[in-house]
Amino acid sequence: MQRTIKVGLALAGWLACTLASADMLADGYRLSAEPGETLDMAPPALPDLSGYTAAAVEAKIQRPPAGRVVVKDMLHEDALDEFIGGDERLKEWVVRQKRMPQAIFIENGYLNTAELARQLPDNLFAETEPGVYLARLPIIVRPGATLHIDRATRELRLSQEAGAFLVNDGRMFITGTRVTAWREKEGTPAFWRDGKEFRPYFLAWGGTETYVVDSVIQSFGYDASKAYGFSISQYSPSMAPKMRRARPTGWLLNSRFIDMWYGFYCYEADDVVIRGNTYEHNIVYGIDPHDRSRRLIIAENEAFGTRKKHGIIISREVNDSWIINNRSHHNQLSGIVLDRSSVNNVVAFNETYKNLSDGITLYESPHNLLWQNRSTNNERHGIRVRNSLDVSLYGNLLAANKLTGIYGHIKDLRGTHRDLEEDPFDPRVSLRIVGDQLVGNGSSPISVHSPTRLELYRLNILAPQKSSGISFSGLLGEHQGEIMDILLRQQRAVLIEPAGSLASKE
């Protein structure tokens, strides 16, 4: 069923004009009317989420044989090399432990929290009240071992003063419980005060599996490599050839992540599922999958109140993934961001609202689909696309954003802090916008500057905020009469390309 574009009286005079099949525009572009049906597409295939449940996680736990615990020096341990490989980071634990630093190692089987307490002295790992445990050393799960922080554990507290943290080099299960970075002197969570202040954290290395279900993780992480908060990471490039581990993976389901430096971070991880969680008042990011992670499912989460940057971001070649049915709102910058060559992703059925920048932002990330998202009441644009080719927007609602409903542009990033070898850019933008609703956006429904290709079809534009009626900006504003004639009177698709690109096809 065709949707009509409702326009103000200011457009009435334009509708009498007709347009030939292709007109040369004065600015070196050609504009043509094309059959719109060729732009229609079937809904994207989405992953089946029904198997990612607490019961499915429980079925993965292998309890026999029982594991054992040893306490030994942290030096010369591959799983800890990232944290004690330099003098400054080694000094952190020497100062906190007042000796050459030690850690608790779980080996050769399964242990839960209660059994861990039974095997350790109280000054290292104590049950301070029924079901509440305090760890005063780092805990490392070796390959072949499993640590289960289970429902019988009301809370596991990791001492900030003593320098405790969790490293998974095997299998980790956190189910139906709470794990908190703990400030012993104050008897409170280690609430964020400064990015450089040590706070306990969790890291899972290459070859590992991590599962978190129905739990609360609070106050993890600070501004140091691999200590960001809750992280799943392949070994660093210097260690990966030595370790020869598969990429890590995991499921995070129906849990809360509160006051984290990063609510979630991953690096070269595969098939991670982040479903049904809330990311509340985290510091830099809520959800932040990073470098070369693949086939991620980020679904049914809520990210809000991020203090410095974005609610959800994927960055640097995070490909072939799904960001679906999330809510991201009241964040310091954007609700959802695709950044630095993240391609072949589906962003669908999300709600982004009341963010202090854009609802959805794409930076240097071509070949992505944005399908039926709702982006409303954001302080800047509903959807912003920079330096990205072949971006398709289908059936999105962009309403009451302070600036533009959809904003596409190019930017020369030379001369910035960007490492152009690691993060190259292509200063071109091309968009396909089909069936989007643009309602009451502040400066313009759509603004696109210097596109390589722009296709528009079956748009629904309502309730202009300007008293003069609906007004495009950028290239579209210069040719608004012709565009409206094609979309409304002819009910065809608009194609705009540089004249040279069309001429080369003829």
Active site residues: 290
How far from the centroid of its chain's Cα atoms is residue 18's Cα?
A: 45
Cis peptide before 65 (omega within 30 of 0): yes
User: Contact 215/176 with Cβ under 8 angstroms?
Assistant: yes
Element (H, E) at 135: strand 132-135
Longest dimension (CA), the chain: 87
Both structure tokens of 95:
């100062």
Instruction: Give, as one character, the DSSP assignment of residue 487.
Output: I
- Give the type of residue at 148: H
User: Contact 212/252 with Cβ under 8 angstroms?
Assistant: yes
What are the distances in angstroms from CA 226 to CA 43, 165, 234, 236, 359?
38, 12, 10, 9, 28
User: Contact 274/298 with Cβ under 8 angstroms?
Assistant: yes
Q: Which of 326, 316, 333, 318 is nearest to 347 (CA)?
A: 326
User: Helix (H, G, I), strand (E, B), or coil: what is residue 5?
Assistant: coil
What are the distances in angstroms from CA 506 to CA 34, 39, 181, 492, 494?
15, 21, 65, 21, 18
How far from the centroid of its chain's Cα atoms is residue 171's Cα?
A: 24
User: Helix (H, G, I), strand (E, B), or coil: what is residue 486?
Assistant: helix
User: Helix (H, G, I), strand (E, B), or coil: what is residue 55?
Assistant: helix
Q: Rounded to whole angstroms, how far apart are CA atoms 462 and 460?
A: 7
Q: Rounded to whole angstroms, how far apart are CA atoms 55 and 74?
A: 36
User: Contact 263/257 with Cβ under 8 angstroms?
Assistant: yes
